[in-house]
Amino acid sequence: MANTELEPEERPKTLSAVDAAIHACRRCPIGFLANTAVMGEGPKRAALMIVGEQPGDQEDRAGRPFVGPSGRVLDAALERAGIDRRQVYVTNAVKHFKYVQRGKRRLHQSPTTKEIDICRWWNEAERAIVKPQVILACGGSAVRGVLGKSMAISRARGRPHPLDDGSELWVTVHPSYLLRLRDEMKEEQEALFQADLAAVTERLAELAG
Ligand code: SF4
């Protein structure tokens, strides 16, 4: 059954129940790989939720989101922006690590649009519990996972996008994108990423009144 066929009242009502449910989930092919579901982490109620694409190799092994190289980029940028990660609920649009095996290495594979759309039901369950005021989606898959449709980050960043539940979506690139860049392009994109986090910091302060 596609997740979209399930009613909101069928969703788990606690984070621990979501955690158990995603570990049992095999609603898309990614769940049949040799991996483990990675639940979001953070306070049960958080003003800010950060959504990435999917767990990477290190996240899959650790069972925690954003702990690999991308996580280190995110952590450093959050610190510079004055955001305490411990106050943030950090999660992914897709809960299992999608990869292809090459020898001993597991190489990241992007989830398909269909896989993201199926898995977004779980992030909706997290959102219904955590009730963030601001959601920062990092990368195109995360945007799709939150919105249920695609949106160009270059055109959408730097401003809020109201969501049906009263929260607002902000968008930026995924930190892994910054890791792949070099020279001026890297500096330019890192500055934009930092500016996106600064805008979120400012917005959170406004909302806190
Ligand atoms: S990736 Fe998401 S939808 Fe697919 S099996 Fe894992 S939890 Fe289920």
Note the pLDDT tens digit of each residue in 17-52. Answer: 999 999 999 999 999 999 999 999 999 999 999 999
- pLDDT at residue 177 above 90? yes
3 Cα nearest atom in ligand 1: 3
Out of 118, 121, 141, give the residue to mutate to test ligand 1, the one with the largest number of ligand atoms within 8 Å of its CB: 118
**Predicted TM-score (pTM) of this structure:** 0.95
Query: In 154-199, where do the E strands start and end?
Result: 161-162, 168-172
pLDDT of residue 6: 56
Which tokens hold the place of 45? 């109620």
Question: What number does the ligand 1 atom closest to the CA of 22 have?
Answer: 7
147: left (phi over 0), alpha (psi -120 to 50) or beta: alpha
User: 184 alpha carbon to ligand 1 midpoint, in Å?
Assistant: 37
Residue 163 Cα to ligand 1 midpoint, Å, equals 23
Note the pLDDT of residue 7. 66
List the residue whose alpha carbon is closest to atom 2 of ligand 1.
119
CA distances from 157 to 3, 29, 109 (A): 28, 31, 25
Q: How far is the CA of 160 from the centre of ligand 1 (A)?
A: 28
Q: Please give the pLDDT value at position 1.
A: 39
For residue 120, pLDDT over 60 is answered with yes
CATH 3.40.470.10 is right for the domain spanning 3-204: yes
Q: pLDDT of 127-164, one tens digit each?
A: 999 999 999 999 999 999 999 999 999 999 999 999 99
